[in-house]
Structure 1
Amino acid sequence: MIKVGVIGCGHWGPNHIRIFSHLANSVSFMCADLNEERLKKIKETFLNIKTTQNYKDILNHPEVDAVCIASPTDSHFTIAKEALEAGKHVLCEKPLSLDPRECFELERIAKDQAKILMVGHIFVFNAGIVKIKEYIQSGELGKIYYAYATRTNLGPFRYDVNALWDLAPHDISIFNYLFGSMPLNVSARG
């Protein structure tokens, strides 16, 4: 059983807690948030979860195997780095960081620690997207030269990142998954 600590209980954190609690091989063991009211609601909904206002309690807990980071974007790098260095596997909401150098640093630390570092690109697990990939791989659609996406918001308006950082990563991760390669050209307008 994988014991997961969820850091950040705003919009997405409670969803992660619920999902980890319903999976056969994991349990939401502990969660952290600075907001005491959020933690109170979590305790009312998920009776057996431990709560703390200090995320480092999760990182230092010997029973926690992995962390899920659902905190504001500007905290992702620091928390992910500390979690990896504490020997935890990391699932982080996107974006992992706003600085590519920090992403490469986290990738290196994860490799050195032999830990999984994963960004929450959830759409690559969507049944519809998986089916499209099957069509592409079968050759039924022929060679793909062009892909187009329109994105709308899936949650609350975010103030910690702009629309590019909030919405575009989903489409980019879908295209990278579907085509198994990086794009040659990208354009956007808003």
Structure 2
Amino acid sequence: GALLIFDEIPHALGRAGRMFTCENFGVTPDILVLGKGLGGGILPLAAIVARDGLNVAAEQALGHYTHEKNPVLCAAALATIRVIEEENLLENARLVGDYALRRMRQMMDRHPLIGDARGLGLMLGLELVFDRKTRERATAVAEQIMYCALRKGLSFKLLMGNIIGLFPPLAITKEQMDEALDIIEKCLSLHE
């Protein structure tokens, strides 16, 4: 049969409110690919975690590679995991993420440009459309809102041209999230 592989590089280590996103869906992948957050967002570190029986090279020497098995990076990964656990950042991601999603859905009532508000933990998205029925993407407006927000001190990524993607740090507070959403709402009001 086919192997289930979760690429958790963009969102692992808490972004979805659990250490690994797959935990939100009650599945255990055969292979888990990790990166970005593993190095604390600072150091370049990645890992592949596989279930028993898939490590087919365990007894072979594959040589030495520049970025392989660096002890300093591994210590940084352990420190990152320790901070996430000790500071309850997974719970914070769930609580602040749920709060933000509720607020984003309330924003839909005030702003017809918002076609959908969705999220899981601190992976959040506001989809901008010209018409909620036809789902016509408001890409030019989304870009204008992005630059408006940037001028006000908020940086975010546009996904698929019309989705405001918010991926704040795990330690974000409700007050900081409110500040970010206030900026987005002000920019939406200027462009409707």
TM-score w.r.t. the length of structure 2 is 0.23
Higher normalized helix content (fraction of residues)? 1
Larger radius of gyration: 2
TM-score w.r.t. the length of structure 1 is 0.24
